[in-house]
Structure 1
Amino acid sequence: MTRAPYAADPAQHGGREFGVQRSNAGAEQRGPRSDFQRDRDRIIHSMSFRRLKSKTQVFIAPDGDHYRTRLTHSLEVAQIGRVLARALGLDEDLTEALCLAHDLGHPPFGHAGEDALSDAMTAHGGFCHNAQALRTVMRLESPYPEHDGLNLTWDLLEGLAKHNGPITEPGWALAELDAAFPLQFSAWPSLEAQIAAVSDDIAYDNHDIDDGLRAGFLDLDDLLELDFLAQQWRAVEKRFPNAPRERQLRELVRDQIGLMVNDVLEYTNAQVAGYMSVAEIRAAGQQLAGFSPAMTEHERALKKFMYDKLYYHPEQVSAATRARDVVAKLFAAYSQDATLMPNEWRQRLPAEQPDRARMIADFIAGMSDRFAMQSCAAIYGEQPSGLTNV
């Protein structure tokens, strides 16, 4: 595929926050990689990325091996992102890195954990998983001796901060990071970032259906109330009339992903016609990569269905309530008695607010579901119950 003129160029990126000059010349020779490939590899090799294997995607602490976690979800987003980036002539490595990093700021138990931290941090500036992803890669994940953070390129950080569009009112975390390394919050991000965002939508819209059906929380008859899904299902039954139902359902999910991917390609190619640089994309004043208006309406209907039938399913709501309680109890315990935290965190804990509360939130946000449950049990002497519903 020919490289598009508006593709991000790893040879002309916006720099890194820390311009490190290594004393050991050989240390720079770590393979023939572009700077965007280095970004991707730093993310994959990070502890924060590995912890995603035990963080909630839809189902909290599932017993089954086949349910998605934040890690498997991120890998699936990256796969879709690379397909779209290649077909559009964009930089695949930057797109992949953005897809892999987009959920690094999620605390244990997914959105339930985020709600609990947001409540606990109300007096200290609040908590947002998107801002926490930037905070993680720029300050918390620090494997290098010369600086804090992973020292990723400006293009990666900018896209991670605003993959959902310009930021008009940054919270405290984004504001602090932007002051240290300005990310032009008022402009639209690169097409690579926009593609990462729509890849996330495609992945969880369809893979959550797969998990919901597997868990028995979704029913095929309910799905077929959505006309565009019913049409896809009839086509699947016509092609594979004798296939087992489970295989037909998985074919439905694959077809739906393909339909959305092709829609994004057709619509985005039409939108970007005439653009000749990344700067023009950022100055466009609107989102250029995404679904067509017709697919946008279908996708909104699907999201509403998923919230009604899956995300707000009574068993899901019950588990989420218990998960919020675990995070709230952890925050309260560490706030009252810092000796409960590991030495490396306790020794760095600021004495004054809001910095003290923010570091406690950093510690909790980095936990896996399992570690949060273990920590709560160690503090309160009772294993949290009712958190696994599949």
Structure 2
Amino acid sequence: MNWEQLLSLKRAGDTNKRIRKEQDETRLGFEVDYDRIIFSSEFRSLQDKTQVIPLSKTDFVHTRLTHSLEVSVVGRTLGRRVGQKLLEKHPHLQNVYGHQANDFGAIVAAAALAHDIGNPPFGHSGEKAIGEFFKTGEGQKFKNQLTDKEYQDLCDFEGNANGFKILTQNRAGRPGGLRLSYATLGAFTKYPKESLPTKPTNYIADKKYGFFQSEKEAFTDVAKELGLLKRSEKHMSFSRHPLAFLVEAADDICYTIIDFEDGINLGLIQEEFALEYLSKIIRNTIKPENYYALSTKEDRVGYLRALAIGSLINEAVDVFMANENAILNGSFSCALLDKSQYSAQIKDIIKISVENIYQSTEVIDKEIAGYGVISTLLSTYTSAVNNMFNNTASNYNKLILKSLPKVIETNKPTLYQRLMRVCCHVSLLSDSKAILEYKKIKGIEF
């Protein structure tokens, strides 16, 4: 792969090539991507979606929206620092093509901002709940009417693939979705493969999948423009866009350190563990007198968090630059932080977070409730949409359809398209909105 292609400014529907040197520096194309994402309704719904603690009413626990903003800030720094080093190493990118270090920062920041835009309500359990509906629940009845890959899209519903769908799908009045630059779409796609086969190799991009069958053509166009390396002749699978490693690193840094911070602030993890577990990461930057001068737990933990994020940013930049050639030829097969000198400390922090936060009673109870909510919504909506298509809709089905937004089209010609529309709609609901819809269907509140 080469950076000239990887930094493509092309957008869906373009008829003329966009030239970097012709860009308005006060409103760079890559920065427009960020603006389009942050002003989208899909992004706004993240303000009421679970990050770790579902439906938390405390003011310091992160939602998907605050998490996404923080990942974007870290991603911007990562991109700028890597961009500066790449321009020193490859001066023609600046001298001939006009690229600046901030280009890299803008691409990574935009992709990082959108990285969770496709996640359903109730955190990762929301993804699993949608999948279980089709794999072991009422949705099993659709299996024989779908191709293997279409059915796998539903059984292993993936927030990353749903995010690509949201960013690129055609809608009335909005052809090409948000029409982001292909560079940003490439950096967004951590898993540039289709749903089958499942985990064919240990290469990091094969861990999950990044686009549904409904967006296969759109991703093919992106991959071709960017010059992504094809990894298989039997199925659609590509090497990652190099900047996807930085988006992933930004997410890894934030959820590792900030989820840990949330757990301490909630009292699920003792404050003493913060200094114990973070001390090896921040040993070169911590000033004990500053730490002990802080009077509140939140301030002390926040100080450690800021230093830890700074150290891990430096690590990620160093690992990326040390492995740039391998990343460009598609042979670098793990996350950047897996090569970090702090990988052992990161694993320890994640382990204690899993035990004390992700598996806490509060989280598990809310995830159980989330399964029931999502299963009910999918059952109700799929029945209404399919019955309307088959001209067998009951009065109840028709009432349900009147309550749904117009984007849930009942005239889609294939079952797969109709089911994906329903799943996408449910995935865009906030936690509170999903519960409200559930109560309405169950007649719990009027």
Tell me the TM-score normalized by structure 2.
0.72
Aligned position for 1:373: 435
With over 3 angstroms needed to count, the CA separation of the structure-2 counterparts of 1:198 and 1:230, relative to structure 1, is closer
Q: 1:243 to 1:159 in 2, by over 3 A?
A: closer
- CA separation in 1, counterparts of 2:208 and 2:358? 28
Shift of 1:166: 6.2
Aligned equivalents of 2:364, 2:252: Cα separation in 1: 22
Q: Separation in 1 of the partners of 2:277 and 2:210?
A: 41
Q: What letter is aligned with 1:298? A: Q
Which one is further off, 106-115 or 329-338? 329-338
Q: Who is 2:160 aligned against?
A: 130
- C-alpha displacement at 1:188, in angstroms? 3.1
- In structure 1, C-alpha distance between the alignment counterparts of 2:359 and 2:28, rounded to whole Å: 43
State the Cα deviation string for residues 153-179 of structure 1 (Å, max 9, x = none).
Answer: 222222222269764598694344233
- Give the Cα–Cα distance (whole angstroms) in 1 for the partners of residues 408 and 249 of structure 2: 40
The one of 98, 117, 120 aligned to 1:107:
120
Q: Give the alignment of 1:69-80 within 5 angstroms.
A: 69-80=63-74
CA distance change for structure 1 residues 233 and 302 in 2, over 3 Å: closer, same or farther?
A: farther
* Distance change (3 Å), C-alpha of 1:281 and 1:268: closer
Partner of residue 349, structure 2: 302
Structure-1 separation of matches of 2:52 and 2:76: 24
Cα distance, 1:223 vs structure 2: 4.9
Partner of 1:363: 425
Per the alignment, residue 151 of structure 1 pairs with 179
Contact preservation (8 Å) 1:17, 1:181: no
Structure 2 residue aligned with 1:286: 332
- Write the deviation string for residues 102-127 of structure 1: whole angstroms up to 9, x where unpaired: 11110111112111111123343321
One-letter amino acid matched to 2:215: L
Q: Structure 1 residue 98: deviation in Å?
A: 0.7
Deviation at 1:236, TM superposition (A): 5.8
Query: What corresponds to 1:387 in structure 2?
Result: none
> In the alignment, residue 241 of structure 2 is paired with which amino acid?
S
2:120 and 2:159 in contact (8 A); partners too: yes
2:111 matched to 1:98?
yes
1:306 deviates by: 1.1
Q: Count how many residue pairs are aligned between Structure 1 and Structure 2.
A: 363
* Corresponding residue to 1:64 among 49, 55, 58: 58
Residues 249, 169 of structure 1: CA spacing in aligned structure 2 closer, same or farther, 3 A cutoff?
closer
Deviation at 1:322, TM superposition (A): 0.9
Q: Which amino acid aligns with 2:164?
A: L
TM-score (norm: length of structure 1) = 0.82
Q: What is the distance in 1 between the residues matched to 2:256 and 2:210?
A: 31
- Equivalent residue for 1:211, pick from 262, 273, 277: 262
| Match among 215, 229, 233 for residue 177 of structure 1 | 215
CA 1:36–1:210: 2 relative to 1, 3 Å: same
- RMSD value, Cα: 3.3
Superposed CA deviations along residues 230-279 of structure 1, whole A, max 9, x for unmatched, are 9869956554334324122221212221221122233333333xx5xxxx
Instruction: Give the C-alpha shift of residue 49 in structure 1.
Output: 1.0
CA distance in 2 between partners of 1:288 and 1:88 (Å): 18
C-alpha spacing 1:36/1:130, structure 2 compared with 1 (3 Å) = same
For structure 1, the residue ranges without an aligned partner over 5 or more in a row are 22-28, 384-390
| CA distance in structure 2 between the aligned counterparts of 1:172 and 1:41, rounded to whole angstroms | 23
Q: Which runs of 5+ in 2 are unaligned?
A: 17-22, 84-100, 136-142, 144-150, 193-202, 232-237, 386-397
Deviation of 1:30 (Å): 9.5
Which residue does 2:8 correspond to in 1?
A: 13
Find the partner of 1:330 among 361, 370, 377. 377
CA distance in 1, matches of 2:293, 2:12: 58
CA drift of 1:350 comes to 3.3
- The aligned counterpart of 1:48 is 42
1:58 to 1:143, Cα distance in 2 relative to 1, 3 A: farther
- Judged with a 3 Å threshold, the aligned counterparts in structure 2 of structure 1 residues 170 and 111 are, in CA distance, closer, same or farther, namely closer
Q: Which residue of 1 aligns with 2:86?
A: none
